[in-house]
Each structure stands twice: as structure tokens, then as C-alpha cells.
Chains A and B, each alone.
Chain A
Amino acid sequence: MKLELRKVTKRFGDFTANDSIDLTVTPGTVHCLLGENGAGKSTLMNVIYGLYRPTEGQMFIDDQPVEFSGPSDAMAAGIGMVHQHFMLVPVFTVAENVALGAESIKGATLDLESTRKKIREISDRYGFQVDPDAVVEDLPVGVQQRVEIIKALVRDAEILILDEPTAVLTPAETDQLLGIMDQLRKDGKSLLFISHKLREVREISDDITVIRRGKVVGHAQPTMSTTELASMMVGKNVQLTVDKDAAQVSDKVFEVKNLTLMADNGVPLLKKVSFEVRGGEILAVAGVQGNGQTELAESIIGLHPKATGSLSLNGTELLGMSTKQVLRSGVGFVPEDRSKDGLIGSFSISENLVLDLFDSPEFSSAGTLNRSKISANADRAGTEFDIRMGSKEHTASTLSGGNQQKIVVARELSRDLQLFVGSQLTRGVDVGSIEFIHKRIVQERDKGVPVLIVSTELDEVYGLADRIAVFLHGELMGIVPPTTPRSVLGQMMAGATYEEALAADTEHSEASSGSAAKTQVTESAPRAEGEENER
């Protein structure tokens, strides 16, 4: 089925999210929609999927004009969507999830047998390896995503929309997904792939449409270089690699010894983690999310009072201090989820910029806030960190993700730091801001501050790290140099030691490319249960 959009425009009030978008997805191809966060990709997807009605313009399926009043219309017309956040019921089995909303009934009972049969058919056809009777919450993220794809295929979708499908996947899972997409393409399906990860886009796409600020700014070929694509996406030249000199080690040091943390249900979240970060170097923690990185970062700033072991910063023990004491002793902290932990959406930008310093002598006296100093601080931070805001008195929730993140980074880097800890510094942040934030982190390193970065983005890890630490199931698998190949790092993230991974990698490059599947099967099922319980 061919999907065509002609001059599709979507407005919210005065704001134009999509401005006369033209787009054609032909059967048997993968069409990539490339754009920064906030460029209007998701809005466009929701228009196609019937969640929003276009303000202007028309959609065509096989040259027939169509109009959807809801997702059920879109599904009936043969459009399937794989959401960025899965729409699955965790406690249901795969078959139950697939049947949900289109249950077939035998008498008064639910007939899951026909659904199971269909799942097996599809699973065999595309090599999904999904058991219809597995409970969804027990499945690894990559498999859960396949369940989403099966859901669409069972409903006879010919056009598949994949909304940032790789955001939650390990490198190995990503490769598997790209393989699946390739098969679907060969099967004659039309795929619309949304992403801002250039490597994947170049690997899988047949056509690329780049949108910026709601407008189509051009079509690109997958043969174009990542730098060219990024420049098109952002509208200016961007530097994808982080510029940094060799690390100049200072005498500051942050030492973690035997850090252990148990969840309330006794599941270990961190197992005897020991490492050190010297001043002037960046240690990047890589690993699939939910393997203890979050807990590591939170333990450092005292959010997990039950953690045991030792966290020593220049000889001072941080463990046992309150969060406030840790922050005041010179630790800068950027949490991984800015809207949940980093900002107060209903507070003004200037208030958010002093969230951890509002009661310091700098911004208050005798229990009264010094509004003029807080406001001056916002002016300074706004200029220095290029926070684009209408007014510093607007609430933080009115800003885009990139600017929100700049608020958090600005707040944490505005103090005199002894240690900087940052999680997912650039998640959901546009390319321009990523560059800026990275630059500031490197500057901090060059001041001689020990920097600990947690990231699931390998590009970021490679760009920033002086050394890379790999975590799996709360354990430190090893610390490797940034020259380590991606494939080796990927295998370590799946459970191999550095030596094993290195050996397997050499073997792999000697053998044919097909043998990569061997290591990819050793998929882990990282779960974030403990993290939920802890809060």
C-alpha cells in the first residue's frame, strides 16, 4: 500500500506543528522521517494514525483520499503503529496483548487459539522468536517491541509507522530490529521510520525526508554522510564529535569502593561496585538502562540511604550525608529524567535555576528570598548557557526539552564543583543543544573536575569518555579505553568480559558477517523493578 501526504498542515492555536508536509511512502521501502526533537515528527505521526485531524491537506492510501476520525479508522485502513512507549499490558501474555481490542469470541469465552496461531505464523515468517504464551513483563525490551510489531501485523497492517523504535534498545537489539525492518520491506510493506539517530537512518532507509520546525526542508539519500544529514536536520553545521584534548589528570579524586545497594525486595541493584574517577577525566558508564547506572548516580548524591560501601571525594566520605550536604560539598548532579527529578515544571525558570541554592546566603537573607539576585542569576545563566526563553518568569514547562535540560545543566555547573555526575545528559535534546552541553562538560573536565557520565547513547559515550565503564545487572563488567570497538562494548553490555568480547570480536571479523547472530542471541532482560520500588 502506498501512503501519500499532500500539503498536510496541523496547527494548535497559533502554533503550526506541521506546515504543508508532502510525503510519499512506497511499498517495499523504508522511508525515514528525520528531524530534531520538537521538529513535528510525532505530531505528523499522530495525524497519520488518526489521533489528530489535519488542519489542512489530504492523505491518500493507494491514491484514494482517506480521512480518519481515530486510530481504529487508521488500523482498518491498514496502518499500524509501533509507539515509542509500548502500549502493552505488562501482566498479559503476548497472545492476550495481541488480541486486546480485537478479541475473537467463542460463545461466551475468549478464543485465544486463533490469535496464538496467527502469532506463530508471523513469528515464523519473520523469525521473531516470540512465544505467544510468554507474559509480556518477563520479556526483554526488544522482544516487547516485536510484540508491538506483531500487533500491527495481525491486524493486516500494510503501512507500519515506527516512532523512534531504537530509543529503548541495546545496540544488538537495534541491529535485530533493523533486520526485521529489512524483511518487512522485502515482504512489500511500507515502512515509515522516525528517528534522529543518523547511523541507523543511513543503514536502513531507502528515502529520507528531513523536517525542521514543522516544515519539510529537503530529501536526502542514505548515502549522504552523517555530518551532512545532521546539518540538514539542524539547519547549520554541527560538530558531531566532541572536541577535546587529552585528559590532564588533577589531584582531585572520586573513589567508589564496594558500593552495594539492595532493593526492598532483596534484589541487588548494585553489587560491590568499585572504581575511581580522577580529576580532569571523564568516566562514562555505558550499559542498557536498568542495570544499576541510575542507582549508582543516585547513591552518590545520597538519594539511597541504604547503600553501603564507600564513596570518597578527595578523602571526604559522601555516603551517609544528606543530599543537601553532598550537593553543598561540591557535587553537581544532573538526573536522568529532567522533568521528573530535575525540574519543577510549574516553577519559573529563574526559580528552577536556584532550586538547590535558594536558601544559600547568595540568594536569600533572614529567610527571605532575594528576588533581584535570583533574577540576575537567571539572566546570567540564560546568556551563558544559551537558554532560549520568552521570559525568565515563564514556567519551566513551557520550554522545549533541550532548553529544559540546559536549565538543569546551567544550575549544576554554576557552582564550584569537586565532582560532576550526569545521567543521560542529552536524552531528548536537539543536536544543537547536545553539542553545547557536551562542550560544557568537557570544559568542566578541563578545569580538573572528576566527571562521571551515565549514558545509553554509545555515540555520547564514545564522544565524551576518557574511559568507559560497562554495567550489567548492577555489576561493573570492566573499564575499557574509548578505543574499544563498538561490537566489543556491545558484547560486554550483554555479559561478556572484556577479554571474551575482544576474542569473540576478532573471531567475528575473521569469519563471515553472518556469525554475528551468535552473540546477539545472548540477550539479557534488564529490568527496572528495583528502581521503581526504591522510590
Chain B
Amino acid sequence: MSDKQPAAQQVDPALAADTDAPTPPQDVPSQLVETQKPSLFARIAGGSIGLSIGAALAAFIVGGLLIAVTDPATQAASRYFFARPLDTLAAGWSAAYDSYVALLQGSIFNPNGRNFTQQIRPLTETLTVATPLIFAGLAVALSFRAGLFNIGAQGQIILGAIVSGWVALNAGLPVIVMVPLILLGGIVGGAIWGGIIGVLKARTGAHEVILSIMMNYIAANLLVYLLKTPLLQREGSSNPISEKLGENALFPLLLGPQFRLHAGFLAALLAVAFVWWLLNSSTVGFRLRAVGANPNAARTAGISVASGYIVVMALSGALAGLAGAAQVAGTEKVLSTGIAASLGFDAITVALLGRSKPVGTFFAALLYGAFRAGGVSMQVSTGTDIDIVLVLQALIVLFIAAPPLVRAIFRLPDPTGAPRTKKKKSASKAVEAAA
């Protein structure tokens, strides 16, 4: 021991001197070889907040152009564009401006309302519409963080709706017991449906995208089938629809009977907090993030990747199932074939816009809720088609996905790493020889 001590001290001063440099100079070159290259998917899902905001803004600009171009008044003015070009521009501007104002008024605050209730109703509508999107968005975001692409939120929502709907229709208990029971039904239904995907992936290595798409079909048809059996079908009806839910099985309204906002929104807030804790502070979340970020290193550190897949898919499914419960007992009050609408797919875009982070997903869901709520009043008051809202949603995702694409085309350096795109250029000529 004694002869080693001086040697250690001999090293120390030189090393200590090096720590003065604020950034170790070795970093950039070493990244050229050392850094794990984030996958395209990781870069899309893990973009910065600036990217999300920028994408939304760019979508609004392009959307505004589309509104202007499709506006009848603008089109009329464009016929004499070369005589009076300003007419066309003015018409186009006012069309886009009016539409967006209507969208805003329809989703947040309507100053033309006769009383405060009517003025504030748009905001509560936005929150109501956003509630299932928050649950489903969290579901997809959670799977993203574990490196899985859960396309199956749609099916998990449907299963959540089936189980919670069945509970709501059959358990005649007081509302205080019913609400948690219905939520639990959603959790169980969704978790089973998601868990199946997780088990299949972990045991057989099948890809979760294929599995979850197929599970979506099965869920949709299972719902149609069940709605035609005495188990769920309304007595005396030939349509695939259930009985209306009883008063005891409905989520309590938060702001009284003149608004639709229900207790499901509070549950969604709790879910946001839960997922935040799960991802940032829990051991389970650590394991899931490790599996998602680098399964090889996770395995080497003794983390079971297979059980990670099962756990994350069950958790993701449970969250999606809650969206189904919120639909049944919160807004729809009946189980029908259209109970999940396109929530499961919107959830993917919500999670992308929210950068797979719980709070981000929450705000992204609010934005989508606002689109939905405001779109209706926009169509009524300005005649702009509500489908423009879908175009806006699609554009946002397109712009979020575009930066890597744009960087690839122009060979710009990747802001997350070192300037390695140029190295790839030479490598692309020939595949690396296996050593």
C-alpha cells in the first residue's frame, strides 16, 4: 500500500488543474465516436419545447393561408387580382383573422355571451373535451418514454369503456362508490388490453406497432359485438347502443348543471401528477426510462427488459382505459360504437406535441381540446369548415417531425450532438465491415 500512495498524489495536481476548464475539451471529438446516436424516433419524440411551440405557430400560419385560399370572398376577389391585388389580400387576411378569432372565442372566452355563464362556457368545453385526451395522451407519452410506440391507445380506450360501462350499468351503488369503481373498471380494461401487447412483445419479440394495430381492430369489433348482446345492448333496441347510464353512475359535474365539465377532469389532473412522479421519481419509472433509452445497458445492469415492456404496456393501457371511462361516465353517458371516436390516434399527436412529458402532454391536450371546442363555433360564425382544425392538427405533427428531416436534407449539424452528419456522408458509401 505504502508505495502506491505517492503515485496517486503525483497524478492528482495535473488532473486537478484540468478541471479548471469549464467544458472538457475532449467532449466534441469524443462524441463523434462515443455518443449513442439518438434514433429518429427519439429525436421526434424528445424535441425541445421551442420546437413544439414553433411547430404550432408554423401550423397556424399555413392553416391561415389555407383558410384564406378556400374562402369564397377571397376567391371572388382573386378574379380581378391583377386589377386590384389588395382586395384579394384583404379578403384573405380577414377570412383567416375572423376564423382564428372565432376559434379563440369558441374555445376560451366568448365576449358576446349574454351572461358570464355563456361567456365562460367555451373554456369549460375545452377542458371537457380535453379530459379524455389528457388520459390517452399520457398513455402514449409513457410508452414513448419506454421506447415503445403504442398505437393501441384506441383499443385500450375501447376496452376501458367496455369494462367501465359494464360496471356503470350494472352496479347500483351510490355515486361516491361508483366513481372510483368506474375509474377502476377503465384501468382494468385498458391494462389488460395493453398488457397483452406487452406480454406478446416480451415473450415473442413481435413488434408492438403491428400488435397494437391488430388489437385495435379486435377491440373495435368486440365493442360492436358486445353492444349486440344482452350484456350491454339496450333493451328493446336493435341498434348497437347501451342503456343510458343512471344518475348514480355519472361523474359529478364540477361547475353545476349549466356546464358539462365533470370530475373526470380532476382525475386527469391527478393522472398528470401520477405520471410525472412515475417518470421522474419512481424506481419503476427509472427502469422504464432505462429500458427505453438503452435496453442493452439496462439488461447489463440487471434490469429485466421483458418485464419492463409488460409493465409499461399495462400502465399505458390503464391510462388509456381511463380515457374510456371518462368518455362513458363523463361526456357520452352511454356506451356506443363511437365511444372512442378518434381519441386513440389524436393521443399520439398530443404526446408528440407534448414531447412525451406529462405536463407538456397536458397542455397539448388542452390545445387539441380547444381546437375541437372552438372548431364548432368557428364553422357556425365564419363558415370556415371545421375540418381545418384537423388540418391544423396534422400540420403541427408534420412540423414537429420535420426538423430532423430538414436537417437531414440540408446536412445541418444536429443540435443534440456533434457535427456528425458529414461523417455519415462518407459512411453512406459503404456499409461498415463487420470486424
- Taking a contact as CB atoms under 8 Å apart, the answer to whether A355 and B290 are in contact is yes
- Taking a contact as CB atoms under 8 Å apart, the answer to whether A341 and B300 are in contact is yes
Cross-chain contact of B430 among A100, A343, A367 (Cβ < 8 A): A100
Looking at B48-56, B158-166, B212-220, B417-425, the stretch in contact with chain A turns out to be: B417-425
- Taking a contact as CB atoms under 8 Å apart, the answer to whether A358 and B294 are in contact is no
- Taking a contact as CB atoms under 8 Å apart, the answer to whether A89 and B430 are in contact is yes
Q: In the bound complex, how far is the Cα of B7 from the Cα of A356, in angstroms?
A: 31
Q: In the bound complex, how far is the Cα of B435 from the Cα of A86, in angstroms?
A: 8
Q: In the bound complex, how far is the Cα of B24 from the Cα of A39, in angstroms?
A: 11
Given A87-B426, A137-B434; A356-B30 close (CB under 8 Å): no
- Give A435-453 as 1s and 0s: 1 = Cβ < 8 Å from B's Cβ atoms: 1100100010010000000
Nearest chain B residue, comparing its CB with the CB of A354: B286
B32 at the interface (CB under 8 A from A): yes
- Taking a contact as CB atoms under 8 Å apart, the answer to whether B30 and A400 are in contact is yes
Given A51-B423, A428-B34; A289-B435 close (CB under 8 Å): yes
CB under 8 Å from chain A, chain B span 384-435: 417-419, 422-423, 425-427, 429-435
Q: In the bound complex, how far is the Cα of B304 from the Cα of A303, in angstroms?
A: 11
- Taking a contact as CB atoms under 8 Å apart, the answer to whether B8 and A339 are in contact is no
Nearest chain B residue, comparing its CB with the CB of A335: B300
- Give B287-324 as 1s and 0s: 1 = Cβ < 8 Å from A's Cβ atoms: 10110011011111111100000000000000000000
A518 at the interface (CB under 8 A from B): no
- Taking a contact as CB atoms under 8 Å apart, the answer to whether B24 and A355 are in contact is no
B342 at the interface (CB under 8 A from A): no
A54 at the interface (CB under 8 A from B): no
Given A51-B426, A141-B435; A324-B302 close (CB under 8 Å): yes
Q: In the bound complex, how far is the Cα of B15 from the Cα of A14, in angstroms?
A: 23
| Chain A residues whose C-beta falls within 8 Å of the C-beta of B430 in the assembled complex | 87-89, 97, 100
B9 at the interface (CB under 8 A from A): no
Number of interface residues of A (CB under 8 A): 94
- Taking a contact as CB atoms under 8 Å apart, the answer to whether A17 and B34 are in contact is no
Least Cβ–Cβ distance between B78 and chain A, in angstroms: 45
Given A358-B283, A390-B22; A344-B298 close (CB under 8 Å): yes
Given A339-B36, A340-B296, A397-B36; A435-B11 close (CB under 8 Å): yes
- Taking a contact as CB atoms under 8 Å apart, the answer to whether B297 and A38 are in contact is no
- Taking a contact as CB atoms under 8 Å apart, the answer to whether A359 and B286 are in contact is yes
| Chain B residues whose C-beta falls within 8 Å of the C-beta of A398 in the assembled complex | 27, 31
Least Cβ–Cβ distance between A322 and chain B, in angstroms: 7
| Chain A residues whose C-beta falls within 8 Å of the C-beta of B24 in the assembled complex | 388-390, 399-400, 403
Given A359-B287, A369-B282; A144-B433 close (CB under 8 Å): yes
| Chain A residues whose C-beta falls within 8 Å of the C-beta of B176 in the assembled complex | none
- Taking a contact as CB atoms under 8 Å apart, the answer to whether B4 and A344 are in contact is no
Nearest chain A residue, comparing its CB with the CB of B300: A341
Q: In the bound complex, how far is the Cα of B417 from the Cα of A243, in angstroms?
A: 39
| Chain B residues whose C-beta falls within 8 Å of the C-beta of A90 in the assembled complex | 431, 433-434
Least Cβ–Cβ distance between B2 and chain A, in angstroms: 10
- Taking a contact as CB atoms under 8 Å apart, the answer to whether A38 and B435 are in contact is no
Nearest chain B residue, comparing its CB with the CB of A352: B297
A168 at the interface (CB under 8 A from B): yes
Looking at A21-29, A232-240, A253-261, A468-476, the stretch in contact with chain B turns out to be: A232-240
Cross-chain contact of A17 among B3, B4, B28 (Cβ < 8 A): B28
| Chain A residues whose C-beta falls within 8 Å of the C-beta of B290 in the assembled complex | 344, 347, 355
Looking at A40-48, A182-190, A198-206, A488-496, the stretch in contact with chain B turns out to be: A40-48
For A40, A327, A386, A389, the residue with the greatest tally of chain B CB atoms inside 10 Å of its CB is A386
Nearest chain B residue, comparing its CB with the CB of A14: B23
Least Cβ–Cβ distance between A95 and chain B, in angstroms: 14
- Taking a contact as CB atoms under 8 Å apart, the answer to whether B282 and A347 are in contact is no
Cross-chain contact of B304 among A88, A239, A324 (Cβ < 8 A): A324
- Taking a contact as CB atoms under 8 Å apart, the answer to whether B300 and A342 are in contact is yes
A106 at the interface (CB under 8 A from B): no
| Chain A residues whose C-beta falls within 8 Å of the C-beta of B297 in the assembled complex | 340-344, 355
Cross-chain contact of A369 among B26, B281, B426, B431 (Cβ < 8 A): B281
- Taking a contact as CB atoms under 8 Å apart, the answer to whether A87 and B418 are in contact is no
- Taking a contact as CB atoms under 8 Å apart, the answer to whether B4 and A439 are in contact is yes
Nearest chain B residue, comparing its CB with the CB of A442: B4
- Taking a contact as CB atoms under 8 Å apart, the answer to whether B286 and A369 are in contact is yes
Given A368-B283, A439-B4; A15-B25 close (CB under 8 Å): yes
Cross-chain contact of B302 among A12, A323, A335 (Cβ < 8 A): A323
Least Cβ–Cβ distance between B51 and chain A, in angstroms: 17
A364 at the interface (CB under 8 A from B): yes
Cross-chain contact of A532 among B304, B419, B431, B434 (Cβ < 8 A): B434
CB under 8 Å from chain B, chain A span 414-435: 428, 430, 432, 435
B237 at the interface (CB under 8 A from A): no
B10 at the interface (CB under 8 A from A): yes
Nearest chain A residue, comparing its CB with the CB of B10: A237
Nearest chain B residue, comparing its CB with the CB of A355: B301
Least Cβ–Cβ distance between B296 and chain A, in angstroms: 5
- Taking a contact as CB atoms under 8 Å apart, the answer to whether A328 and B434 are in contact is no
- Taking a contact as CB atoms under 8 Å apart, the answer to whether A356 and B302 are in contact is yes
Given A243-B7, A344-B293, A369-B283; A12-B426 close (CB under 8 Å): no
| Chain A residues whose C-beta falls within 8 Å of the C-beta of B83 in the assembled complex | none
CB under 8 Å from chain B, chain A span 276-310: 289-290, 301, 303
Q: In the bound complex, how far is the Cα of B7 from the Cα of A42, in angstroms?
A: 31
Cross-chain contact of A347 among B10, B18, B293 (Cβ < 8 A): B293
- Taking a contact as CB atoms under 8 Å apart, the answer to whether A341 and B35 are in contact is no
Q: In the bound complex, how far is the Cα of B1 from the Cα of A157, in angstroms?
A: 54
Q: In the bound complex, how far is the Cα of B433 from the Cα of A390, in angstroms?
A: 36
- Taking a contact as CB atoms under 8 Å apart, the answer to whether B28 and A15 are in contact is yes
Nearest chain B residue, comparing its CB with the CB of A369: B281
Cross-chain contact of A101 among B19, B282, B294, B429 (Cβ < 8 A): B429
Least Cβ–Cβ distance between A507 and chain B, in angstroms: 32
Cross-chain contact of A404 among B34, B294, B302 (Cβ < 8 A): B34
A residues near B, CB below 8 A? 12, 14-17, 37-40, 42-43, 46, 51-52, 70-71, 85-90, 97, 100-101, 136-137, 141, 144, 168, 213-214, 235-237, 239, 243, 289-290, 301, 303, 322-328, 333, 335, 339-347, 351, 355-356, 358-359, 364, 367-369, 371, 386, 388-390, 397-404, 428, 430, 432, 435-436, 439, 443, 446, 527-529, 532, 535
| A-B pairs with beta carbons under 8 Å apart, 22 shown | A14-B23, A15-B28, A51-B423, A87-B432, A88-B432, A144-B433, A213-B25, A303-B299, A303-B300, A340-B294, A341-B300, A344-B290, A345-B35, A345-B293, A367-B283, A388-B19, A397-B31, A400-B24, A403-B26, A428-B33, A430-B26, A439-B8
* Minimum-distance CB pairs A-B, first 5: A38-B26, A400-B26, A324-B302, A86-B433, A356-B301
Please name 14 further chain A to chain B contacts, defined as beta carbons within 8 Å, in addition to the given A341-B299, A343-B297, sorted by A numbering: A12-B28, A43-B32, A46-B422, A214-B25, A339-B35, A341-B300, A344-B298, A346-B294, A351-B286, A356-B302, A356-B303, A367-B282, A367-B284, A403-B26
